[in-house]
Amino acid sequence: MKFELTSENPLRITVISGKGGTGKTTVAAQLSYVLSRIRKIVIADCDVDAPNLHLLLKPEVVEERPFFGLKKAKIGEKCTSCGLCYELCRFDAIVEENGGYRIDETRCEGCALCYNACPEKAIEMVEGERGKVYISNTKIGRFVHAVLYPGEENSGKLVMEVKELARAEADREGAAAIIVDGAPGIGCPVIASLANTDVALVVTEPTLSGLSDMLRILDLTEHFRIRSAVVINKYDLNEDVAEEIERKCRDRGVEVLGRVPYDETLPEQISMLEFPFRGKAAGEIEKVWDRLREFLS
């Protein structure tokens, strides 16, 4: 039986790549557009360190929520300037200033060592706003996105918040699919992007570094037992490496669902924020959905 989208059990697709710049967001955006013509969808941008899907989707924000990350240290008035916390902090987050000490919040990792060690109990661990999460309307569906304030880390936790909100929005809206533009790389944010995913779509490009990044991310999805398939972007720029990517995928039993040709009009469409995309690359991304349906059947 052919796979059908249903609001009872929304399909959760996460589009990822081993590193940035492979066309991951382009694929996620166009695929979202294709699915939005079939059923209601929710889109989530989990690339919270460098979000750019909002540029294409031109969201109208309907709700804004503060994001609270890890608690960070704050030195209070009881401090006697003994310097113990300064000695202990391994992250150089305590700064000597005017004969006293202060915390550099951008360096504080929230480990609470100073809090526990201070003989004067002069340090508090304080929750602060580290970013914002937005729920927006776009022409193709509800969109959950976020920003992390400059210098802030812990984007894995923010990614989890974006995903949870996207799921809640999908339930509220009766959406039949959640398309996640995942964080790049293989670190904590991408692992958070992949949580509760039905299928990971790995976007790669035909370069040796693209091949090696793809293999690393497939190791990750295999480790977490997430069904994965590959899209080769700009495959015709280096057909030898594209063939090597296909061979490696075959060896691992991973299907290649898209071979997106280089489209010289696409960079201009992207820079002019002309979305949905048109042309041969957009056409091939649209076919990825048909193949994904077969893959899921």
* Residue 70 sits in the site that holds ligand SF4 (CB under 6 A): no
Q: Which residue shows structure tokens 């000490």?
A: 101
Q: Which of 35, 43, 94, 230 binds ligand SF4 (CB under 6 A)?
A: 94
Backbone dihedral angles phi then psi of residue 175, each to the nearest 5 degrees: -75, 150
Looking at the DSSP bridge assignments, the partners of residue 135 are: 63, 144
Give the residue with the Cβ less far from ligand SF4, 70 or 191: 70
Total residues contacting ligand SF4 by CB under 6 A comes to 26
The nearest distance, CB 162 to ligand SF4, in angstroms, is 26
User: Which pair of tokens denotes residue 216?
Assistant: 């690393």
Nearest Cα residue to 64 out of 180, 165, 192: 165
Q: Which of 13, 35, 43, 93 binds ligand SF4 (CB under 6 A)?
A: 93
Specify whether the CB–CB gap between 73 and 128 falls below 8 A: no
Give the residue with the Cβ less far from ligand SF4, 23 or 69: 69
Binding mask 123-162 for ligand SF4 (x = CB under 6 A): x---------------------------------------
Nearest Cα residue to 292 out of 182, 198, 195, 174: 198
Stretch that binds ligand SF4, among 4-12, 55-63, 88-96, 260-268 (CB under 6 A): 88-96
Q: 129 by DSSP, 3-state: which?
A: strand
* Residue 118 sits in the site that holds ligand SF4 (CB under 6 A): yes
Give the residue with the Cβ less far from ligand SF4, 7 or 81: 81
Q: Are strands 100-103 and 94-97 parallel, antiparallel or unpaired?
A: antiparallel
The nearest distance, CB 49 to ligand SF4, in angstroms, is 20
* Residue 80 sits in the site that holds ligand SF4 (CB under 6 A): yes
Stretch that binds ligand SF4, among 26-34, 111-119, 177-185, 226-234 (CB under 6 A): 111-119
Give the residue with the Cβ less far from ligand SF4, 28 or 93: 93
- CA gap 153, 49 in Å, rounded: 9
The nearest distance, CB 157 to ligand SF4, in angstroms, is 16
Give the residue with the Cβ less far from ligand SF4, 73 or 229: 73
- Taking CA atoms, 82 is separated from 120, 126, 203, 215, 224, in Å, by 9, 21, 53, 51, 47
* Residue 75 sits in the site that holds ligand SF4 (CB under 6 A): yes
Nearest Cα residue to 157 out of 48, 53, 263: 48
Q: Are strands 129-138 and 141-148 parallel, antiparallel or unpaired?
A: antiparallel
Stretch that binds ligand SF4, among 48-56, 116-124, 180-188, 200-208 (CB under 6 A): 116-124
Buried b (16+ CB within 10 A) or exposed e, 35-65: bbeebbbbbbbbbbbebebbebbebeeeeee
| Chain residues that interact with ligand SF4, rule: CB under 6 A | 73, 75, 79-85, 89, 91, 93-94, 101, 103, 108-114, 118, 120, 122-123
